[in-house]
Amino acid sequence: MDNEVIHLYTGEVIPFIGLGTWKSAPGEVGTAVISAIESGYRHIDCAYCYGNEKEIGNALMEIFKVSSQSLNRNDLFVTSKLWNSFHHPDDVKDACKVSIDRLQCGYLDLYLMHWPQAFKRGPEDFPRRPDGTMEGQEDIDYLDTYKAMEKLVDEGLAKHIGVSNFNIDQLKRVVDNCHIKPAVLQVECHPYMVHSELLAYCNAHRIILEAYSPLGSPDRPWAHLCKDQPQSLLAHPDIEAIAVKHNKSSAQILIRFQVQRGIVVLPKSVKRNRIKDNIDVFDFTLDDEDMSRIFELNANRRFIVPLIKNDQDDFVSRDKWMTHYPFNNDGTTIVI
Protein backbone atom coordinates (compact mmCIF):
# COMPACT_ATOMS: atom_id res chain seq x y z
CA MET A 1 0.00 0.00 0.00
CA ASP A 2 2.91 2.41 0.72
CA ASN A 3 3.78 2.78 -2.96
CA GLU A 4 0.14 3.58 -3.80
CA VAL A 5 -0.03 6.77 -1.70
CA ILE A 6 2.01 9.93 -1.30
CA HIS A 7 2.36 12.07 1.82
CA LEU A 8 0.96 15.57 2.03
CA TYR A 9 2.96 18.13 4.00
CA THR A 10 0.54 17.63 6.91
CA GLY A 11 1.70 14.01 7.25
CA GLU A 12 -1.57 12.59 5.94
CA VAL A 13 -1.60 10.56 2.75
CA ILE A 14 -3.39 10.90 -0.56
CA PRO A 15 -3.78 7.96 -2.97
CA PHE A 16 -1.76 8.32 -6.16
CA ILE A 17 -4.76 7.37 -8.31
CA GLY A 18 -8.12 9.10 -8.01
CA LEU A 19 -11.27 8.72 -10.07
CA GLY A 20 -11.93 11.83 -12.15
CA THR A 21 -15.62 12.70 -12.48
CA TRP A 22 -15.61 15.60 -14.97
CA LYS A 23 -17.79 14.80 -18.00
CA SER A 24 -19.25 11.72 -16.25
CA ALA A 25 -22.91 11.87 -17.18
CA PRO A 26 -25.88 11.59 -14.82
CA GLY A 27 -26.91 7.98 -14.50
CA GLU A 28 -23.32 6.86 -15.10
CA VAL A 29 -21.18 8.62 -12.53
CA GLY A 30 -22.70 6.83 -9.51
CA THR A 31 -22.06 3.43 -11.04
CA ALA A 32 -18.53 4.56 -11.93
CA VAL A 33 -17.84 5.56 -8.31
CA ILE A 34 -19.10 2.21 -7.05
CA SER A 35 -17.00 0.35 -9.63
CA ALA A 36 -13.97 2.41 -8.67
CA ILE A 37 -14.25 1.72 -4.96
CA GLU A 38 -14.86 -1.98 -5.61
CA SER A 39 -11.70 -1.94 -7.77
CA GLY A 40 -9.60 -0.48 -4.96
CA TYR A 41 -9.87 3.28 -5.47
CA ARG A 42 -9.91 5.31 -2.28
CA HIS A 43 -9.72 8.75 -3.89
CA ILE A 44 -12.63 10.49 -5.66
CA ASP A 45 -12.17 13.89 -7.34
CA CYS A 46 -15.36 15.95 -7.55
CA ALA A 47 -16.44 19.54 -8.16
CA TYR A 48 -19.54 21.64 -7.68
CA CYS A 49 -19.65 22.68 -11.33
CA TYR A 50 -19.56 19.10 -12.65
CA GLY A 51 -23.21 18.91 -11.65
CA ASN A 52 -23.03 15.33 -10.39
CA GLU A 53 -22.15 15.57 -6.70
CA LYS A 54 -25.61 14.43 -5.55
CA GLU A 55 -25.34 11.20 -7.51
CA ILE A 56 -21.81 10.64 -6.23
CA GLY A 57 -23.01 11.18 -2.68
CA ASN A 58 -25.79 8.63 -3.14
CA ALA A 59 -23.25 6.15 -4.50
CA LEU A 60 -20.97 6.70 -1.50
CA MET A 61 -23.86 6.07 0.87
CA GLU A 62 -24.71 2.88 -0.99
CA ILE A 63 -21.12 1.69 -0.72
CA PHE A 64 -20.94 2.44 3.00
CA LYS A 65 -24.24 0.60 3.58
CA VAL A 66 -23.15 -2.49 1.69
CA SER A 67 -19.63 -2.49 3.10
CA SER A 68 -20.84 -2.11 6.68
CA GLN A 69 -17.74 -2.32 8.88
CA SER A 70 -15.21 -2.99 6.08
CA LEU A 71 -15.23 0.54 4.62
CA ASN A 72 -16.08 3.86 6.23
CA ARG A 73 -15.73 7.56 5.50
CA ASN A 74 -12.20 7.79 6.90
CA ASP A 75 -11.01 5.26 4.31
CA LEU A 76 -11.78 7.63 1.42
CA PHE A 77 -10.10 10.80 0.20
CA VAL A 78 -12.81 13.08 -1.21
CA THR A 79 -12.08 16.31 -3.08
CA SER A 80 -14.42 19.06 -4.22
CA LYS A 81 -13.86 22.50 -5.70
CA LEU A 82 -15.08 26.03 -5.10
CA TRP A 83 -16.80 27.39 -8.19
CA ASN A 84 -16.04 30.80 -9.70
CA SER A 85 -19.42 32.33 -8.75
CA PHE A 86 -18.65 31.87 -5.05
CA HIS A 87 -15.27 33.61 -4.78
CA HIS A 88 -16.57 36.38 -2.54
CA PRO A 89 -15.20 35.58 0.92
CA ASP A 90 -18.69 35.68 2.40
CA ASP A 91 -19.82 32.90 0.02
CA VAL A 92 -16.97 30.42 0.46
CA LYS A 93 -18.21 28.59 3.55
CA ASP A 94 -21.75 28.11 2.26
CA ALA A 95 -20.43 26.85 -1.08
CA CYS A 96 -18.25 24.31 0.69
CA LYS A 97 -21.17 23.13 2.80
CA VAL A 98 -23.31 22.66 -0.32
CA SER A 99 -20.75 20.24 -1.75
CA ILE A 100 -20.40 18.42 1.57
CA ASP A 101 -24.18 18.04 1.82
CA ARG A 102 -24.52 16.80 -1.77
CA LEU A 103 -21.64 14.35 -1.34
CA GLN A 104 -23.00 13.28 2.08
CA CYS A 105 -19.41 13.00 3.23
CA GLY A 106 -19.39 15.04 6.46
CA TYR A 107 -16.19 16.89 5.56
CA LEU A 108 -13.82 17.23 2.62
CA ASP A 109 -10.33 15.84 2.60
CA LEU A 110 -9.40 18.50 0.06
CA TYR A 111 -11.15 21.65 -1.14
CA LEU A 112 -9.66 23.40 -4.15
CA MET A 113 -10.31 26.80 -5.68
CA HIS A 114 -11.32 25.61 -9.15
CA TRP A 115 -10.02 28.66 -11.04
CA PRO A 116 -8.29 31.90 -10.00
CA GLN A 117 -10.77 34.16 -11.86
CA ALA A 118 -14.05 35.15 -10.23
CA PHE A 119 -17.43 35.26 -11.94
CA LYS A 120 -20.11 37.77 -11.05
CA ARG A 121 -21.42 37.06 -7.59
CA GLY A 122 -24.96 35.74 -7.61
CA PRO A 123 -27.21 32.72 -8.14
CA GLU A 124 -26.06 31.95 -11.70
CA ASP A 125 -23.21 29.47 -12.05
CA PHE A 126 -22.42 30.82 -15.52
CA PRO A 127 -23.43 34.51 -15.63
CA ARG A 128 -23.18 35.65 -19.24
CA ARG A 129 -22.35 38.95 -20.87
CA PRO A 130 -24.31 39.97 -23.99
CA ASP A 131 -21.69 38.33 -26.25
CA GLY A 132 -22.09 34.97 -24.50
CA THR A 133 -18.82 35.08 -22.55
CA MET A 134 -18.73 35.08 -18.77
CA GLU A 135 -19.36 38.13 -16.65
CA GLY A 136 -16.51 38.43 -14.21
CA GLN A 137 -16.15 40.21 -10.90
CA GLU A 138 -12.76 41.89 -11.15
CA ASP A 139 -12.85 43.39 -7.66
CA ILE A 140 -12.51 39.94 -6.07
CA ASP A 141 -8.89 38.88 -5.62
CA TYR A 142 -8.22 35.14 -5.41
CA LEU A 143 -6.00 35.85 -2.37
CA ASP A 144 -9.06 37.04 -0.44
CA THR A 145 -10.94 33.96 -1.57
CA TYR A 146 -8.09 31.72 -0.44
CA LYS A 147 -7.95 33.38 2.97
CA ALA A 148 -11.65 32.59 3.40
CA MET A 149 -10.87 28.98 2.47
CA GLU A 150 -8.28 28.83 5.26
CA LYS A 151 -11.11 29.24 7.76
CA LEU A 152 -12.65 26.00 6.44
CA VAL A 153 -9.66 24.10 7.79
CA ASP A 154 -9.94 25.84 11.15
CA GLU A 155 -13.64 24.91 11.30
CA GLY A 156 -13.15 21.27 10.29
CA LEU A 157 -15.06 21.49 7.01
CA ALA A 158 -11.95 20.68 4.98
CA LYS A 159 -8.80 18.90 6.11
CA HIS A 160 -6.72 20.46 3.36
CA ILE A 161 -7.11 23.27 0.86
CA GLY A 162 -5.43 24.02 -2.43
CA VAL A 163 -5.84 25.50 -5.88
CA SER A 164 -6.54 24.34 -9.41
CA ASN A 165 -5.60 25.80 -12.81
CA PHE A 166 -3.27 28.39 -11.27
CA ASN A 167 -0.14 29.31 -13.19
CA ILE A 168 3.20 29.36 -11.38
CA ASP A 169 3.14 33.09 -10.64
CA GLN A 170 -0.34 32.84 -9.15
CA LEU A 171 0.69 29.85 -7.05
CA LYS A 172 3.77 31.70 -5.78
CA ARG A 173 1.59 34.65 -4.81
CA VAL A 174 -0.66 32.39 -2.75
CA VAL A 175 2.29 30.65 -1.07
CA ASP A 176 3.90 33.99 -0.21
CA ASN A 177 0.74 35.41 1.35
CA CYS A 178 -1.07 32.50 2.98
CA HIS A 179 -1.48 31.27 6.52
CA ILE A 180 -2.23 27.68 5.49
CA LYS A 181 -0.14 26.54 2.54
CA PRO A 182 -1.88 24.89 -0.41
CA ALA A 183 -1.60 21.12 -0.06
CA VAL A 184 -2.30 20.48 -3.73
CA LEU A 185 -2.15 22.18 -7.11
CA GLN A 186 -4.36 20.44 -9.68
CA VAL A 187 -3.61 21.14 -13.35
CA GLU A 188 -3.89 19.55 -16.77
CA CYS A 189 -0.79 17.39 -17.16
CA HIS A 190 0.23 14.72 -19.69
CA PRO A 191 3.24 13.96 -21.91
CA TYR A 192 2.38 16.83 -24.27
CA MET A 193 2.54 19.22 -21.29
CA VAL A 194 4.77 17.87 -18.51
CA HIS A 195 5.02 21.02 -16.33
CA SER A 196 8.63 20.43 -15.24
CA GLU A 197 9.08 23.94 -13.81
CA LEU A 198 5.76 23.83 -11.99
CA LEU A 199 6.53 20.39 -10.55
CA ALA A 200 9.96 21.54 -9.36
CA TYR A 201 8.37 24.50 -7.55
CA CYS A 202 5.73 22.28 -5.96
CA ASN A 203 8.33 19.76 -4.82
CA ALA A 204 10.45 22.51 -3.30
CA HIS A 205 7.44 23.71 -1.28
CA ARG A 206 6.00 20.26 -0.47
CA ILE A 207 2.89 20.89 -2.55
CA ILE A 208 1.46 17.85 -4.34
CA LEU A 209 0.86 18.25 -8.06
CA GLU A 210 -2.26 16.52 -9.37
CA ALA A 211 -2.80 15.73 -13.06
CA TYR A 212 -6.23 15.95 -14.59
CA SER A 213 -6.76 14.82 -18.20
CA PRO A 214 -3.64 12.60 -17.94
CA LEU A 215 -4.65 10.75 -21.12
CA GLY A 216 -4.99 13.95 -23.14
CA SER A 217 -8.79 14.24 -22.84
CA PRO A 218 -9.64 12.94 -26.31
CA ASP A 219 -13.34 13.23 -25.44
CA ARG A 220 -13.26 16.96 -24.69
CA PRO A 221 -16.39 18.53 -26.23
CA TRP A 222 -14.50 20.89 -28.56
CA ALA A 223 -11.86 18.43 -29.87
CA HIS A 224 -13.45 18.38 -33.32
CA LEU A 225 -12.66 22.09 -33.71
CA CYS A 226 -8.90 21.60 -33.56
CA LYS A 227 -7.20 22.44 -36.86
CA ASP A 228 -3.81 21.13 -35.71
CA GLN A 229 -4.82 18.06 -33.75
CA PRO A 230 -1.73 16.24 -32.46
CA GLN A 231 -1.49 12.47 -32.39
CA SER A 232 -3.73 11.00 -29.68
CA LEU A 233 -1.57 10.01 -26.75
CA LEU A 234 -3.44 6.73 -26.43
CA ALA A 235 -2.54 5.86 -30.03
CA HIS A 236 0.89 7.46 -30.16
CA PRO A 237 3.41 4.93 -31.52
CA ASP A 238 5.95 5.66 -28.79
CA ILE A 239 3.38 5.10 -26.04
CA GLU A 240 2.07 1.98 -27.77
CA ALA A 241 5.59 0.56 -28.10
CA ILE A 242 6.27 1.05 -24.39
CA ALA A 243 2.89 -0.53 -23.62
CA VAL A 244 3.79 -3.63 -25.65
CA LYS A 245 7.15 -3.81 -23.89
CA HIS A 246 5.47 -3.96 -20.46
CA ASN A 247 2.34 -5.86 -21.54
CA LYS A 248 0.21 -2.94 -20.43
CA SER A 249 -2.27 -0.57 -22.09
CA SER A 250 -1.34 2.88 -23.36
CA ALA A 251 -3.49 4.40 -20.60
CA GLN A 252 -1.56 2.47 -17.96
CA ILE A 253 1.74 3.75 -19.37
CA LEU A 254 0.50 7.35 -19.30
CA ILE A 255 -0.69 6.97 -15.71
CA ARG A 256 2.48 5.20 -14.55
CA PHE A 257 4.59 7.96 -16.12
CA GLN A 258 3.04 10.51 -13.76
CA VAL A 259 3.17 8.27 -10.70
CA GLN A 260 6.91 7.84 -11.14
CA ARG A 261 7.24 11.62 -11.20
CA GLY A 262 5.45 11.85 -7.84
CA ILE A 263 2.29 13.25 -9.42
CA VAL A 264 -1.21 12.22 -8.31
CA VAL A 265 -3.25 11.13 -11.34
CA LEU A 266 -6.99 11.54 -11.96
CA PRO A 267 -8.05 9.39 -14.92
CA LYS A 268 -11.74 9.56 -15.78
CA SER A 269 -13.85 6.68 -17.03
CA VAL A 270 -17.34 5.30 -16.52
CA LYS A 271 -16.46 1.86 -17.92
CA ARG A 272 -15.78 -0.73 -15.26
CA ASN A 273 -12.95 -2.51 -17.10
CA ARG A 274 -11.10 0.74 -17.80
CA ILE A 275 -11.62 1.96 -14.26
CA LYS A 276 -10.06 -1.25 -13.00
CA ASP A 277 -7.18 -1.12 -15.48
CA ASN A 278 -6.36 2.50 -14.66
CA ILE A 279 -5.41 1.67 -11.07
CA ASP A 280 -3.43 -1.44 -12.02
CA VAL A 281 -0.13 0.43 -12.43
CA PHE A 282 1.85 -0.59 -9.34
CA ASP A 283 3.25 -3.91 -10.54
CA PHE A 284 5.74 -2.54 -13.09
CA THR A 285 8.27 0.27 -13.49
CA LEU A 286 9.16 2.39 -16.49
CA ASP A 287 12.91 2.40 -16.99
CA ASP A 288 15.01 5.48 -17.76
CA GLU A 289 14.75 4.88 -21.50
CA ASP A 290 10.95 4.69 -21.27
CA MET A 291 10.74 7.88 -19.25
CA SER A 292 13.07 9.78 -21.58
CA ARG A 293 11.10 8.64 -24.60
CA ILE A 294 7.89 9.94 -23.07
CA PHE A 295 9.46 13.22 -21.95
CA GLU A 296 10.51 13.85 -25.55
CA LEU A 297 6.82 14.24 -26.46
CA ASN A 298 6.53 17.42 -24.41
CA ALA A 299 5.47 20.43 -26.46
CA ASN A 300 3.76 22.55 -23.76
CA ARG A 301 0.43 21.92 -25.50
CA ARG A 302 -2.72 22.59 -23.54
CA PHE A 303 -6.03 20.90 -24.42
CA ILE A 304 -8.32 22.04 -21.60
CA VAL A 305 -9.30 25.69 -21.81
CA PRO A 306 -12.62 27.12 -20.64
CA LEU A 307 -14.76 27.45 -23.75
CA ILE A 308 -18.46 28.13 -24.03
CA LYS A 309 -21.00 28.26 -26.84
CA ASN A 310 -22.20 31.75 -27.69
CA ASP A 311 -25.58 32.74 -29.08
CA GLN A 312 -24.41 31.72 -32.57
CA ASP A 313 -23.64 28.21 -31.25
CA ASP A 314 -19.90 28.73 -31.73
CA PHE A 315 -17.28 27.80 -29.15
CA VAL A 316 -15.52 30.91 -27.83
CA SER A 317 -13.12 31.59 -24.98
CA ARG A 318 -15.21 31.74 -21.85
CA ASP A 319 -13.18 34.14 -19.70
CA LYS A 320 -9.86 34.88 -21.40
CA TRP A 321 -10.46 38.61 -20.93
CA MET A 322 -10.47 38.39 -17.12
CA THR A 323 -7.51 39.77 -15.16
CA HIS A 324 -6.79 36.55 -13.29
CA TYR A 325 -7.30 34.17 -16.22
CA PRO A 326 -4.24 31.91 -15.88
CA PHE A 327 -3.34 30.89 -19.44
CA ASN A 328 -2.77 34.15 -21.32
CA ASN A 329 0.98 34.37 -20.72
CA ASP A 330 1.98 31.05 -19.18
CA GLY A 331 4.16 29.77 -22.01
CA THR A 332 1.79 27.05 -23.23
CA THR A 333 0.27 26.54 -26.65
CA ILE A 334 -3.50 26.15 -26.53
CA VAL A 335 -4.86 23.33 -28.67
CA ILE A 336 -8.63 23.69 -28.93
Buried b (16+ CB within 10 A) or exposed e, 46-69: bbbbbebbebbbebbeebbeeeee
- Residue 1, C-beta contacts closer than 8 angstroms, at least 6 positions apart: none
- Collapsing DSSP to helix, strand or coil, 60 comes out as helix
Query: Is 192 an active-site residue?
Result: no
Question: Could you write out the DSSP letters of every residue in 13-29?
Answer: EEESB-EE-TTPPTTTH
| Alpha carbons 263 and 268: distance in angstroms, whole number | 16
Vertex 224 angle, CA 314 and 23, to 5°:
85
**Cβ–Cβ under 8 Å, residues 223 and 229:** yes
Q: How far is CA 195 from each of CA 112, 265, 297, 301, 313, rounded to the nearest angstrom?
A: 19, 14, 12, 10, 33
Buried b (16+ CB within 10 A) or exposed e, 28-45: bbbbbbbbbbebebbbbb
**Among the options 48, 50, 146, 212, which is catalytic?**
50
The amino acid at residue 131 is: D
| Alpha carbons 311 and 275: distance in angstroms, whole number | 37
**Cβ–Cβ under 8 Å, residues 29 and 270:** yes
Strand partners, 279: none
How long, in residues, is the chain?
336
- Residue 97, C-beta contacts closer than 8 angstroms, at least 6 positions apart: 157
Which of 302, 326, 274 minimizes the C-alpha distance to 24?
A: 274
| Alpha carbons 99 and 322: distance in angstroms, whole number | 26
- Enumerate the active-site residues: 50
